[in-house]
Amino acid sequence: MKKLIHIAFILVPIFSFAQIDYINQQELYVKYNVDTVISISHYNNKDKHELFWVLDSLGRIIYQEYFPSEKNSIPDKTYWYYNDNLVSEVLQYASWSTKNEKIDTAKTIYFYNNSNILQQTQYTNTRNSDTITTLYKYKNKLLNSNHIYVDNYYKEYSLFTYDSVSLINTIKESETFYFKYDNNFVRSYKTEREFNYTGDLIKESLVALSPIDTSYTTTSYVWNFKYKDKKLVKIKEVYFSNNKNKSNEKYVTRYKYNAKGLVSKTIEIDKTGDKYIISYIYK
C-alpha cells in the first residue's frame, strides 16, 4: 500500500524539480552540486533550440528559460516559489502570440491541507479573465479524482483507480477523463499505467472511449519502458488505428548517461528515420 500512495502522489502536477521526461534526477543534482542544467535540441541536425534550468541547493527547479529563436525573439521564462518543501506558486512569462509578441503572464497557485497534501490549484493568465481551478480529492490516502472549473463552470473531471497484481509484482493505475457535453458528463479517454514493484513505470496506454457506447474501448497508443541497472534506457511507442489489433511503431527514444549517472543525451527516432536529439550539460 505504501507504494500505491507514492504513485498516487506523483500524479499531482507539482513539477518541483528540473525534470527530464520520466526521470527525477533531484538527488543527483544535490550529490554533485548541480545548480544549472542546459539542454540543446536538434531535429535532424536542424532547428536548434536551447533552454536552461536553475536549481536550488535541494535540487529543485527555481527558474527556467527558453532561449529566443528566429521565430520568437522573446524568451519564455518560468519561476518556481516554495513554502518550506512545497511549491507554492509558479509564474510564467511568455509571448503567446507571434503577431505582436506581447508578453503575457500566467500564474498557478497551490493550496495544501494541514498534512501538506495538495487540495487545489488556481491558474490565471493575462490573456483573458478566466480562472481555472482544479480540486483534488483523495480516498484511503490515494488520489481519487480531480475536478476542473473555469470560473464557476464545472468543465471536466478525472477518476483514478488502482489495482495491485501480486503474482507479477506490478501495480496498475488508470485515470478516466470526463467532459461536459449538453449539461451531461461523458467519457472522453482513459490512461492506464503499470508500475513494477520498485515503482518504475513499465507501461502506459492511451485508451479511446465512446461517449455514447459505454462498451466501446480501443487502445490508441502504448508506451513500453525498458530499464537497465535501474536506469531508464528506452521507450518504445506504438499506435493502433482503425480499431484493428495491428500495431504500428511510432518512435523509439533511447537514454544515454554520463559517468555520474546523469542523463547526457536522449535520441528519439520515428518510423521514417527522423531524429530528435537532446543533449544535456550540467554545471
Q: What is the mean pLDDT of the chain?
A: 84
Q: Using alpha carbons only, what angle is made at residue 108 by residues 67 and 122, rounded to the nearest 5 degrees?
A: 155
Q: Residues 6 or more apart from 2 whose CB is under 8 A from it?
A: none
Which 3 state secondary structure label does DSSP give 146?
Answer: strand
Which 3 state secondary structure label does DSSP give 211?
Answer: coil
User: Cα separations (Å) of 223 from 84, 232, 237, 240, 262?
Assistant: 35, 13, 4, 12, 23
Rounded to a whole number of angstroms, the CA Rg of the chain reads 20
The predicted pLDDT at position 50 comes to 85
- pLDDT tens for the 283 residues of the chain, in order: 233 333 333 333 344 455 688 899 999 999 999 999 999 988 887 767 888 899 999 999 999 998 755 555 556 889 999 998 899 999 998 765 555 556 788 999 999 999 999 999 999 988 788 899 999 999 988 899 999 999 989 999 999 999 876 555 668 999 999 998 888 898 888 999 999 888 899 999 998 887 777 666 677 889 999 999 999 999 999 987 655 566 677 889 999 999 999 999 999 998 888 999 999 999 9
The predicted pLDDT at position 78 comes to 92
C-alpha cell at 271: 518510423
Q: Using alpha carbons only, what angle is made at residue 67 by residues 62 and 69, rounded to the nearest 5 degrees?
A: 155
Dump the DSSP string for 60-113. -EEEEEEPP-SS--SPEEEEEEEETTEEEEEEEEEE--TTT--EEEEEEEEEE-
* Tens-digit pLDDT profile for residues 24-37: 999 999 999 999 99
User: Cα separations (Å) of 187 from 5, 175, 214, 217?
Assistant: 26, 11, 8, 11
Site of grid cell 457506447: 213
The predicted pLDDT at position 245 comes to 60
